[in-house]
Amino acid sequence: MPTPRTALVTGGTRGIGLGIARALAREGWDLAICGLRDEADVAAPLDELRAAGVTVHYVAADLARAHDRTHLVEHVRTRYGAVNALVNNAGRAPRVRADLLEAGEDSFEDVLRGNLQGPYFLTQAIARDQLARRRVESTFTASIVFITSVSAEMASVNRGEYCVSKAGLSMAARLFAVRLAEHGIPVYEVRPGIIATDMTAAARESYDRRIAEGLVPERRWGQPEEVGRVVAALLRGDVPYATGSIINVDGGMSVPRL
């Protein structure tokens, strides 16, 4: 029988995270998933993932809070020792989209703690466990994926804190890629574009219009499952000798054009 593989997917019960979890479950990955909601409130997606025949373990945790991150890491460590893969997907949008000249510090701090500080220090803890496991078990495979956004480079002046958080997370991916490369742990960055999720639903009408006008060369919305398929390929090892790479999943949106 193949050796069981485990992946920790943050924010894996909705949107892009659920698309990633679905793709991994189809390929036989056992899953640890964290999210903000109580387990009873996410029973439906968890049951769907378990129906693929894999083990799914859920932990309620807010990655913006150090106590919750510690709780999550200890829970995962007790159950798995070390996970083969970490997918840093969980993120939050500003509670209110505000012009760059009007946005306040509370929103900036909220978004930066959730989108950058949380995954940065979660990765630190998980990478330590992966390294320790590889020292005693040379066949143990490990990898890390950061889900950032086209907003890591493309400026949106009505959600500056979100753009800054994703730009910082992009650098975090590079830093961990360099630090872990010699130990055989690849780190990748996946940048989704306009994906049909609950986060983008509020701007559906605006995005529909802009996509029709050519903002996205493929002239359509992306789907969470498409991001999931890309992540699954990375974790399978289908993109070797490429640690630190950025993979855009955006229908050509980030391609410079005249």
Q: Please state, in angstroms and rounded to a whole number, the distance separating the CA atoms of residues 13 and 178.
A: 30
Catalytic residue status for 188? no
Angle between helices 43-50 and 15-26 (to 10 degrees): 20
CB 126 within 8 A of CB 86: yes
Token duo for residue 40 = 């009873």
Token duo for residue 190 = 């996946």
- Cross-strand partners of 34: 10, 59
Enclosing H/E stretch for 168: helix 160-181
Per-residue buried b or exposed e for 45-56, using 16+ beta carbons within 10 Å of the residue's own CB: bbeebeebebeb
Q: Identify the residue whose tokens are 């040379």.
A: 138
Residues contacting residue 139 through CB under 8 Å, at least 6 positions apart? 3
Catalytic: which of 162, 188, 207, 241? 162
- Cross-strand partners of 195: 222
Which active-site residues does the annotation give? 162
